[in-house]
Amino acid sequence: MRRILEFLDGSPRLSDVPVVVLTAQGDRSGVFDALNNGAGGYLLKDDEPDDLARGVRAAARGDIPLSPQAARALVNGAAGLRLPVTLTRREHDVLALLAEGLSNKLIARRLGISEKTVKAHLSAAFRRIGAEDRTQAALWFLRHAPRPVAAHVAEARPVGS
């Protein structure tokens, strides 16, 4: 699945071609990630051949075909989706530095705030983005940051440093 997502995410030559994911996995995160990364549909290998053919034709018309199991996974997991996510500027800055690999202590120094404040911003950001740990938060930020991380880090330095 990771290769499919990388292909979808980094393939500008396919911007006008609907790519339908055909897989054996019908879990919510797989379906959501594929659609969020530009898939034009999500079908399962267990679907009937006629349903697969209809799905491909539907994608060619501009529709977004979903296997019934994939649709159920999205609907059942809809309560867990938190889109769009809005971070405060400081949460954003702290996540940018976290994504650069800085410790809480170094983030605090860079931003001119206490380590306790860094932890508070991280906790709030984790809740907003649904991250359970630093790695998930850093990966989320790298995937969703509107600008390159280096631009965030440069802006996050306190005045006079």
pLDDT at 113: 95
56-70 per-position pLDDT tens digit: 888 888 888 988 888
pLDDT at 85: 75
pTM score? 0.44
For the record, the structure tokens of 47 come out as 């679907």
69-101 per-position pLDDT tens digit: 888 877 766 545 445 678 899 999 999 999 999
List % helix, strand, coil for the chain (3-state, nearest 5).
Answer: 60, 5, 35
For residues 25 and 43, what is the distance between their CA atoms, to the nearest angstrom? Answer: 9
Among the residue ranges 22-31, 86-95, 150-159, the one predicted with the least confidence is 150-159
For residues 146 and 113, what is the distance between their CA atoms, to the nearest angstrom? Answer: 24
pLDDT at 4: 54
Task: Inform me whether the pLDDT recorded for 106 exceeds 90.
Answer: yes
For the record, the structure tokens of 93 come out as 């800055």
Omega into 84 within 30° of 0, i.e. cis? yes
Distant-in-sequence, close-in-space partners of 154: CB < 8 Å, separation ≥ 6: none
Nearest to 140 by CA among 130, 148, 154: 130
Higher per-residue pLDDT: 11 or 75: 75
In the chain the domains, ranked by start, together with CATH numbers, are 2-80 (3.40.50.2300), 89-156 (1.10.10.10)
Task: Inform me whether the pLDDT recorded for 117 exceeds 80.
Answer: yes
Nearest to 73 by CA among 33, 19, 100: 33
Number of C-alpha atoms within 13 angstroms, CB side, residue 43? Answer: 24
pLDDT at 5: 53
| Average pLDDT of the chain, as a whole number | 78
Task: Inform me whether the pLDDT recorded for 161 exceeds 50.
Answer: no
